[in-house]
Amino acid sequence: MKSKDMTELTEAPIRLVLVTGMSGSGKSVAITALEDVGFYCVDNLPPELLDAFISLEQGMRANKVAIAMDVRSAKSLPGLPQRLAKLEQQHGGRLHLTTVFLDATTDTLVRRFSETRRLHPLSLKSANDQHRALTDAIEHERELLAELREQALVIDTSLIRPAQLRSQIKELLGAMPAPLTLVFESFAFKRGIPMDADFVFDVRMLPNPHYEPELKALTGRDPAVAGFLRAQPAVQRMREQLITFLRDWMPQMLSDHRSYVTVAVGCTGGQHRSVFLVEELTRAFADDWATRVRHREIGDWPAHPIRADNLG
C-alpha cells in the first residue's frame, strides 16, 4: 500500500522543456537560461532514455526539467515526435511538455562555424570543398529535424545576440505554460523576415513617422509617435483588421494543440509603425490570452557577435 507521501511523489506534475534545433543556433545559451530560472538541465540525452529519465525525475520531485537533443542522436530523431506524444499520453495531465526549436538561416550558420572553425556534427572531414561540405551538412540536418520543427515553438536566432536569446527563453518559459501564448514581434524588412513567425504582416504602406523631423529619433513606444499614428485613419484601419483576423483564427490554433503563435509585424526600419502596432495588438489581446512582446530592432543589447562556440 502506498503512503500519502509516495502518492504525492508519483502524481507530482512535471514541466518538461525539450530544447532542440540546428547546430550552432543557440542550444547552449537556451539551456543556461533555463538553468537560471530553476530548470534541471540535461544535455544531449538519447531519446531512447527519455521515458525512464522522466519517471526518475518525477519520483525525485524535479518539477522543472529541460533536455537538449540535437542531430548527434540522428538515428533516433525520426521517431521522436511520436515518442513525445506517447509520453504525454502516458502521464496525462501530470506532464506539461514544450518543445523549443532554435533555428537560423543557412548563411548565418555557415558564418558561425567558419568563424570558430568548429566541425559540424554531420560534416565530412575529408571533403575537398569545406564550404560545400558544411552547407550540405546543414541542409541535411534541416531534413532530419523537419518533423520535429513542425511541432515546436520556433525561435529564429539569425539576427539576435546571446543576451537577447537568454531574455526570450526566460520570458517565454520561465512562467508556467498557458493554454496558448501570443508572441507579438516587430521587425525591419531590410534585415529579413523572422523565421519563427507564424503570421507576417507588412505595414510599410502606412504613413511613416521617420519623415517627421521631431519623430525620427523616437520609436513606436514613445507617446508622440503613438499619437501621430493613432491620428492616421489607415493605421487605425490596419489595427482593427489585424485584431479581427487574429480573433477569428486563434481558436483554430488552440484546437490544433498549438502552445505558441508568433505574429510578426514589419515595417522598413522596425522603429515606428511595426513597434506601435505590436504594442497595440498586445494590449488588445492581453485580457484573453497570455501575451509576450519582442521588438527585434530596438532592444538595448551588448554588441558582441553571436558565435557557434557560445551557442551550441
Cell numbers 495531465: residue: 93
Please report which confidence band the pLDDT of residue 303 belongs to, taking 50, 70 and 90 as the band edges: very low
Tell me the CATH architecture of domain 1-178.
3-Layer(aba) Sandwich (3.40)
Quote the pTM value: 0.69
CATH 3.40.50.300 domain range(s) in the chain:
1-178
Please report which confidence band the pLDDT of residue 177 belongs to, taking 50, 70 and 90 as the band edges: low
Cell numbers 509603425: residue: 273
The mean per-residue pLDDT over the stretch 79-83 comes to 77
Residue 3 in this model has a pLDDT that exceeds 50: no
pLDDT at 206: 98
The pLDDT mean for the chain works out to 83
pLDDT at 9: 39
Helix 130-150 / helix 106-116 crossing angle, nearest 10 deg: 130
Residue 78 in this model has a pLDDT that exceeds 70: no
The mean per-residue pLDDT over the stretch 233-242 comes to 97
- What are the backbone angles phi and psi of residue 286, rounded to the nearest 5°? -65, -30
Distance in angstroms (rounded) separating the CA atoms of residues 290 and 183: 9
Least confident of 25-34, 126-135, 149-158, 177-186: 126-135
pLDDT per residue as tens digits for the range 19-52: 999 999 999 999 999 988 888 898 888 888 888 8
Least confident of 104-113, 162-171, 234-243: 162-171
